[in-house]
Amino acid sequence: MKIILIIITIISMMLFSCERQQSKDLINKISNFIPIGWSIRIDNEQDNQIVIYSSNINLMPDIKSNDPPNLNGKCEIYILIIPRVSPNLIDNLRIRNKELINNSSPQESKDNLSTWYKKNEELLKISDSEPTHYDNNNSYRIKCRRKPKNKKELIQYNNIMNNINRLFNEY
């Protein structure tokens, strides 16, 4: 039993190290085209996620939330690194995720929204990790909830996204 526990620990450490190194390699590629006023780092909570973020700027509200019309904060682009999903299988994955969401318990009203999110947290994590891009080694989920509102920052954001999209193939 001790040997199995040691083997599991070693494998976990190797995977952690591998994820961290993949994130660092990707940061090195992306940092070449990040404009002044923007930064990049490995997410504090997930070693397989990179966050590209601006300084505090005016943001457009997220259409999927109750954001106020005037919002000030950091524009954050998240790149989640996940095991590679074959382009041939992505449609099956999307169909499965859509079925899972459709079969989840219905949201009764806006009053119970936080309860619904808590109840379906694991399901939403699965759906939220659906990849949008891939390369020869990994798949990636690239997302940004709140885009810049001002023209100058929006141009910078679009340039960053265009450069990121050149690094990967889109599903």
Over the stretch 31-43, which tens digit does the pLDDT of each residue have? 999 999 999 999 9
Please count the CA atoms within 13 angstroms of the CA of 154 that sit on its side-chain side. Answer: 9
Q: Report, as an integer, the average pLDDT of 117-136.
A: 86
Indicate whether 111 pLDDT > 50. Answer: yes
Sequence spans of domains, the chain: 2-85+131-170
Over the stretch 43-79, which tens digit does the pLDDT of each residue have? 988 888 999 999 999 999 887 777 888 899 999 999 9
**In a 3-state reduction of DSSP, which class is residue 53?**
strand
Q: 24: pLDDT confidence band, cut at 50, 70 and 90? A: confident
State the chain's mean pLDDT as an integer: 85
Angle at which helices 90-102 and 121-128 cross, to 10°: 160
